Amino acid sequence: MTELPVGNPAGLRVLLVEDQMIVAMEIEDTLRGLGCVVVGPVGTLEPAVRLAREEALDAAVLDVSLDGDYVFPVAEELKRREIPFIFASGYGEHILPDKWHGQVHLGKPFNREQLAKLLRNISSTSTEISRM
């Protein structure tokens, strides 16, 4: 386990799952600007599930809809590993199945400050961030 300052996203290894290249680049720039190490971005389900299952991660930002597929299998892997994540969607929380209501959700479009606030919140849920 590596101890990081509570509420500081710097140093977090964040999986980025987003199928729109321009949006992915913007989120990646924001994450890097916050000091995060970006894993990805990936835009399709299969490699995203593999990374969620196998990669050393501290958090994730997941686009809910990936070119017709839903990202929920990735969320399942992250939940299983107790890795916090943020759903990002332009459709609103109503698109989420009941199982995922209450999960951290960020409506698109969003700005850097909104993403930073959520990352600080999820990074402060524990003083230790799991590292494999």
Domains of the chain: 2-129 (3.40.50.2300)
Q: How does the average pLDDT of the chain come out, rounded?
A: 83
**Angle at CA of residue 33, ends 32 and 38, nearest 5°:** 10
At 116, list the tokens.
Answer: 């930073």
What pLDDT is stored for residue 73 in this prediction?
97
Whether the link from the prior residue into 5 is cis, omega within 30° of 0, is no
Compute the average pLDDT of residues 60-80: 94
Compute the average pLDDT of residues 112-132: 64
Residue pair 105/89 in contact (Cβ under 8 Å)? The answer is yes
pLDDT band at 75 (very low <50, low <70, confident <90, very high): very high
Q: Higher model confidence: residue 41 or residue 97?
A: 41
pLDDT digits (tens, 9 = 90+) for 3-62: 334 467 888 999 999 999 999 999 999 999 989 999 999 999 999 999 999 999 999 999
Cα–chain center distance at 80: 15
Listed in sequence order, the DSSP H helices in the chain are 21-33, 45-54, 72-80, 112-123
DSSP 8-state code for residue 36: P
Q: Residue 62 and residue 87: Cα distance in Å, rounded?
A: 5
What pLDDT is stored for residue 94 in this prediction?
67
